[in-house]
Chain A
Amino acid sequence: MIRNLTHLKPGEQGIVSGFSDEELSVKLMEMGCLPGVTVRYNFSAPLGDPICISVSGYELSLRLEEAATVHIVQ
């Protein structure tokens, strides 16, 4: 099974390996979330969605459905 960002637990890290959504990937890459870059899952919002990750030296929040399009390897 391909793992994606939502499979990480708080504090865990992974490396971006690809995307499953072309349109979204362009925006994510502009925000520094590129293949080969390390991401860390920080915490989720009170209702479980959206989540906060650390990537390229800053904190980015994105919705679960957006996070699910980011493939990672650990």
Chain B
Amino acid sequence: MKGRLKVALVGNPNSGKSSLFNRLTGLKQQTANFPGVTVERHIGLMHLANGTQAEITDLPGLYSLYPRSLDERIVSAYLLNHQSPNCPDVVVVVADATNLKRSLLLLTQITDVGLPVVLALNMIDQAAKAGINYDINTLQNLLGVRIVPTNARTGYGVDDLKLALQEKPISRQKPVYILPEEVGAAVQEFREMTGVDNDYEAYQLLEQPAAPSFLSEQQKEMINQVRKKHHLFPGKYHGAETIQRYSYIQDLLDRVTIRQADEAWKKYSYRLDRVLTHKVWGYVIFFAILLLIFQSIFSWATAPMDWIDSLFAQLSSYLNAVLPQGPVAELLANGIVPGIGGIVMFVPQIALLFGFISLLEESGYMARVVFIMDKIMRRFGLNGRSVVPLMSGVACAIPAILSTRMIDNRKERLITILVTPLMSCSARIPVFTLLIALVIPQRTLFGVFNLQGLTLMALYLLGFLAAVSMAWIMNKLIRSGDRSYLLLELPPYRLPRWGNVGITILDKTRSFVFEAGKIILAISIVLWVLASYGPAQKMEEAEQRGISQSRTLRLSEEETHDRIAAMQLEQSYAGHIGRAMEPAIRPLGYDWKIGIALLTSFAAREVFVGTMATIYSIGSRADDENTVKSRLQQEINPETGGPRFTFATGISLLLFYTFAMQCMSTLAVVYRETRTWKWPAVQLLIMSLLAYLSAFAAYQLLS
């Protein structure tokens, strides 16, 4: 990685930072981990005109180096870790030109740490529209940083920004914040102890309430020593520092502002707010938008999903027909291809949902959703900000849980993480649709409502109710001294930029396919092996029995093959595992075949359909016309002689899948985000119990 220029992109939320990042790097983006900590970061590559390669890190938005949320802690630690080889060579501070004052607080903190800064004065067109005019040359001289006016929406100034990055970075010489005399000695002592090479950096480490993660235990101990000796405590001068910085900034702005903003440019936003946060219309519109989103996920996404499904089914049967018979062909056609198909099938839904969420965020509406939902969410121990993760949870819990980082209160964030997996994610959709099609009749109620559709909606509602109820209980159980804040900026409404929406969709979909895909693919291979092999002697016996039974029944060659395969499946390793589980799941109305599907579903619930396909296709490999659904319909319960999938079994399975925590990737993410196995374990336990008990109750009542 030598010779690369390391650029960090920081700025307030809503400053257009991500748009600028997209402009600079286009699609050359990837996610990587911060070294040492498993926190994802967005990096992008770009070439400068002089041939230098630059690596840009897009950091979460923040207001100050004093962090409030986990997201902000990450940025703060990144900028303060001066000695790290990852320390940026230059920091681009992206500022909203219509609201420069607040951005300059962050900027002066960063220059005080000694990092070279380029200020991107973004949304310069809006500032012009609002009547704002700055004397940029004077501002540049007084601040001691390079300034480039940009408009990330049109790409204006992006080339100038690249040129500015080529030049030798300049650092502001004189600190903006004059450290209080009393801390001078403490800072000096701390610098000598640790080798920190900048006064303000040392001061930040002494002032911040939680020591950044990059410090060693020894260094943390040094902080405590110095604090004790000099009677310091975290945040002692924080207020005074902010006031001093703002007075410098106000003075600066007074000198460089040629014309002030004319508030009239926001009148459209005000008018929109009057409707969108209205007592009645506010909620009506929000729920209408939710309805639209769900409607589109279920109707618009089904066509491409069916197409993908049949494409993979065709590929599977094509491989079966073309490849010479043998374990390799079997694994490919019945294990790997259906496994990949099961992942790719979700892409349309995930893409649509993230497209909508990104649209709402880009337009500024999401902040209003937080605003109107905050009071309601607070009753359940959540925060208005929890709405975004809960909504994203309908697509996939993994990115949803990652998005809880913007919730600054630890308890509210934890509760949001714990309940998000109860929201019905898109991985449940194929399970739901398959089972609903099996056991719910295709009927119309009151002339308009489709009974199957209503069932699906009821399941979503059930998941949501379970989520808020669990939040309410958790709120009573978890103690926390942290105070809960809102303090949320309501940015002006803006037209979304389609490019940004597109990149978000690509990014989220890609990470879903690879994150969840790895596990699902591995499971489908393991499953295929378990279902195809068994103890050699038992498998041999099963084959013999199948042949002799077929002879007495005078079955055709194909039927004979099916019978042998079915008997072998029962004797395979998977069959043995399923049989062993049977006593536990019989009260729920399941047999050992469903047991295998349940077991594999604990890795990822979408595996259910694939597992069913695998288990049943092993039984009858030649008929590619048969869909999973019709195979399941033909399945007979040997005890009753009736169909295996009765109404009671179907409902019991639907409830089980609504509540169960069946996703290893989610558990892994929860572990990563809470840094303890306690919470994923709690989640797994509570959700499994809920799933088992409700499925049990449903089956016993209905059968």
On A, residues with C-beta under 8 Å from B are 22-32, 34-35, 42-43, 45-50, 52, 56-63, 66
Contact = CB atoms under 8 A, between A and B. Distances in A.
A42 B267 CA distance: 12
Contacts of B64: 30
Contact of A26 (B242, B274, B486): B242
B63 interface: yes
B70 interface: no
Nearest to A25: B239
A58 B99 CA distance: 7
A31 B242 CA distance: 10
Nearest to A37: B246
A61 B235 contact: no
A29 B102 contact: no
A32 B274 CA distance: 24
Contacts of A47: 372, 375-376
Nearest to A48: B375
Contact of B371 (A24, A26, A52): A52
Contacts of A58: 99, 102, 489, 491
A57 B371 contact: no
Nearest to B106: A30
Most chain A beta-carbon neighbours within 10 Å: one of B105, B280, B374: B374
Contacts of A23: 483
B488 A29 contact: no
B238 interface: yes
Contacts of B101: 32, 56-57
B interface residue count range (under 10 / 10 to 19 / 20 to 34 / 35 or more)? 35 or more
B374 A45 contact: yes
A49 B249 CA distance: 32
A46 B287 CA distance: 14
A59 to B, nearest CB: 4
A48 B371 CA distance: 11
Nearest to A59: B490
Interface of B: 63-64, 66, 68, 98-99, 101-102, 105, 235, 238-239, 242-243, 246, 261, 269-270, 273-274, 277-280, 282-283, 367, 370-372, 374-376, 384, 483, 485-492
Contacts of B63: 30-31
A26 B279 CA distance: 32
Contact of B374 (A31, A34, A35, A50): A50
Contacts of A30: 63-64, 66, 105, 242
Most chain B beta-carbon neighbours within 10 Å: one of A30, A31, A35, A66: A30
A32 B277 CA distance: 24
A31 B375 contact: no
Given A34-B246, A45-B375, A50-B374, A26 B235 contact: yes
Contact of A60 (B243, B283, B374, B489): B489
A69 B293 CA distance: 39
Nearest to A60: B489
Nearest to B408: A27
Closest 3 CB pairs of A and B: A59-B490, A46-B279, A29-B242
B488 A46 contact: no
16 contacts: A25-B239, A26-B238, A29-B239, A29-B242, A30-B64, A30-B242, A43-B277, A45-B282, A46-B279, A46-B280, A56-B102, A57-B261, A58-B99, A58-B489, A61-B370, A61-B486
A43 to B, nearest CB: 7
Given A28-B487, A62-B488, A63-B485, 9 more contacts: A22-B239, A30-B64, A32-B101, A56-B102, A57-B98, A57-B99, A58-B489, A62-B486, A63-B486
B283 A46 contact: yes
A43 B372 CA distance: 12
B221 to A, nearest CB: 26
Given A32-B102, A50-B375, A43 B490 contact: no
B243 A63 contact: no
A35 B243 CA distance: 9
B246 A29 contact: yes
A29 B487 CA distance: 11
A62 B375 CA distance: 11
Contacts of A50: 371, 374-375, 384, 486
A63 B412 CA distance: 16
B68 A46 contact: no
Most chain A beta-carbon neighbours within 10 Å: one of B487, B488, B489: B487
Contact of B487 (A46, A49, A62): A62
A23 B280 CA distance: 35
Most chain A beta-carbon neighbours within 10 Å: one of B63, B372, B485: B485
A34 to B, nearest CB: 6
Contacts of B489: 31, 58-61
A56 B253 CA distance: 12
